């Protein structure tokens, strides 16, 4: 009989830990029905940005990237942004692609504007700043450095 009591206690502990884990996963996920709405932004380049990437305002996560598509009318990357319904974005806001450090993941940063009117659901952010490529920055630095060296070198 003693063995059965120990097995019951161990089984109850396993069920309790499993229940706590599932409750934690439910609370930290976005499944619990928090309302959201979608807005859009068009970018020349979205290097490193992917579906599921964070959307932040003042460094605080307020949503995520729902979809990325090529807009056939202007050949720009159209990003669908899913935001928490409590977050209202002014019409004159700026969306830019930023990164967590040099090698960190990319995210979409929204700098709120001062307009009193907010973007409606399915609205488009008019002002965007595309991702800055590290390779292009290094290339520009090296290319400009060569030009500066040529100017400083006296002609023979």
The pLDDT tens digits of the residues spanning 99-145 come to: 887 778 889 999 998 988 998 889 999 899 887 777 777 888 888 76
Q: Domain of residue 19: give its range.
A: 1-33
Say if residue 26 is in the same domain as residue 64.
no
Name the pLDDT band for 30 (thresholds 50, 70, 90).
low
- Assess whether 49 and 6 both reside in one domain: no
Q: Is the pLDDT of residue 21 over 60?
A: yes
Number of domains within the chain: 2
- The pair of structure tokens assigned to 105 is 């993941």
Domain match, 44 and 120 both: yes
Q: Say whether both 22 and 66 belong to one domain.
A: no
Locate the DSSP E strands across 6-154: 36-43, 54-57, 60-71, 76-84, 94-99, 106-111, 124-125, 127-129
Per-residue pLDDT reduced to its tens digit, 67-100: 999 988 889 999 999 998 888 999 999 999 988 8
Assess whether 84 and 99 both reside in one domain: yes
How many Å apart are CA 9 and CA 86, to the nearest integer? 44
């Amino acid at each position: 009989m003693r063995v059965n009591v120990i097995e019951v206690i161990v089984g109850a502990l396993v069920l309790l830990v499993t229940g706590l884990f599932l409750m934690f996963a439910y609370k930290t996920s976005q499944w619990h029905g928090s309302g959201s709405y979608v807005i859009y932004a068009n970018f020349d380049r979205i290097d490193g940005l992917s579906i599921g990437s964070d959307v932040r305002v003042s460094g605080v996560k307020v949503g995520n990237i729902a979809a990325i598509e090529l807009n056939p009318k202007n050949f720009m990357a159209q990003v669908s942004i899913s935001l928490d319904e409590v977050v209202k974005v002014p019409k004159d806001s700026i969306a830019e692609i930023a990164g967590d450090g040099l090698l960190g993941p990319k995210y979409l940063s929204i700098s709120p504007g001062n307009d009193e009117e907010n973007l409606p659901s399915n609205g488009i952010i008019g002002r965007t700043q595309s991702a800055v490529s590290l390779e292009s920055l290094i290339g520009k630095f090296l290319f400009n450095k060569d030009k500066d060296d040529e100017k400083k070198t006296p002609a023979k």
